[in-house]
Amino acid sequence: MPPAPLPTKPHYPILDGLRGVAALMVVAFHLCEAHATSHLDQVINHGYLAVDFFFLLSGFVIGYAYDDRWGRLTVGGFFKRRLVRLQPMVVLGMLIGAGFYYFQAGSLWPAIATTPAWKMLLVLLLGCLMVPVPPALDIRGWHETYPLNGPGWSLFFEYVANVLYATVVRRFSNGVLVRLVVLAAGVLLHLAVTSPQGDVIGGWSLEPEQLHIGFARMMYPFFAGLLLFRLARLRSIPNAFGWSSLLVVGVLAMPRIGSPAHPWQNGLYDALSILLVFPGIIFLGASGAVRSAPAQRLCRFLGDISYPIYITHYPLIYTYTAWVAAHKVSLRDGWPVAALVFLAAVAIAYACLKWYDEPVREWLKKKVLVDGGEAQAAEVSAIVK
């Protein structure tokens, strides 16, 4: 007899909306990054922290979706659900990256012009399988694990977090989980305040230093999100979507903290945002309700496009950045094109959602998931460089 279907759980609509708000901020951050000389003069300066927010949100939602289901759910079943949820858009994001790749050739990435098609296609295949690319196969020059679609690095760590949760951490008592989270918080705090550049940026390379950054940025927020789900006693908070959205935008748009002579000050801002502010935002969002129909539609739309825009926008950013570098375009002169790229990223994400992601996931659920059920589909994969 086949196992009984797992019942679908309702979404947290405000968390869906916040995921979309953060994803749109990521696109704006990357567009502004094309014009920056360094992260010191970057507009939307802390947009890179969206990846840490996504990890924390993902941990919270994974706990909500699966923590009480392990009596009816196997580890294999969990992995199938996660692959069905995440992998179709991984493949499409890599394909879009391959389609744009040779249009990005120029002085910024001279390696592109000399990359043979077979090598690009090999990197594409590895990317579709979520196999990190070693430096020997770098076809761009940035030492990225996924040179066709850079934000894939955070998806890799999302998968790692899921494996750790399903095989080990889900069995942890709350006391053991608290110890893990405190230890991870210490590692993250140390990374942030001792970083030479004064931030937690990094994680997208197989180099040891970058792997350290990637694991530090994943371990605390993901498992702190899980702990928050287990321990939080939610309450009714009015206007939670508005306030939590403003907080997300405010944290990510904050100008650089301190001076270049004291980089630890900005690192401390990063650490406190991840350790304290982001859990507070998620608690606030999970405690609220969306009552009006327009607000419900907005949260649903933002949640629906958040993952597609996250995993498909960066090939556009590569191309825009190459154009900016080739023509020495300032943000003041380039903002109309940047606005068009922003709107194109949203439109492409929505088209990918409706014409590819949703139909493919429905087909895969029928073919791969024996019980045909689907757990909460609000999880986020990662995201930012």
Task: List, as one string, the DSSP characters of 218-264.
Answer: HHHHHHHHHHHHHH------TTHHHHHHHHHHHHHHPPPPS-TT-HH
Say if residue 60's pLDDT is above 50: yes
Which segments of the chain does DSSP mark as H helices, in order? Answer: 13-33, 50-66, 75-101, 117-128, 152-167, 174-194, 208-231, 240-253, 263-272, 278-287, 293-312, 314-327, 331-352, 358-368
Say if residue 342's pLDDT is above 90: yes
Say if residue 4's pLDDT is above 90: no
The verdict on residue 246 lying in a domain is yes
| pLDDT tens sequence across 165-194 | 999 999 999 999 999 999 999 999 999 999
How many domains does the structure of the chain reveal? 1
Per-residue confidence at 32, pLDDT binned at 50, 70, 90? very high
CA distance linking residue 207 with residue 177, whole number of Å: 29
Per-residue confidence at 385, pLDDT binned at 50, 70, 90? very low
The verdict on residue 244 lying in a domain is yes
Task: Say which residue, 4 or 11, is predicted with more confidence.
Answer: 11
CA distance linking residue 183 with residue 189, whole number of Å: 10
The verdict on residue 177 lying in a domain is yes
Say if residue 323's pLDDT is above 80: yes
Average confidence score pLDDT of the chain: 93
The verdict on residue 364 lying in a domain is yes
The verdict on residue 48 lying in a domain is yes
Distances (CA, A) of 126 to 111, 122, 130: 19, 6, 6
The verdict on residue 5 lying in a domain is no
Q: What is the largest CA-CA distance in the chain?
A: 67
Per-residue confidence at 235, pLDDT binned at 50, 70, 90? confident
Say if residue 276's pLDDT is above 60: yes
Cβ contact 13:296 at 8 Å = yes
The verdict on residue 213 lying in a domain is yes
CA distance linking residue 349 with residue 367, whole number of Å: 25
The verdict on residue 268 lying in a domain is yes
Domain that holds residue 185: 13-368
In this prediction, residues 94-121 reach a mean pLDDT of: 97
- Which of 285, 355, 361, 311 lies closest to 153 in space, CA to CA? 311
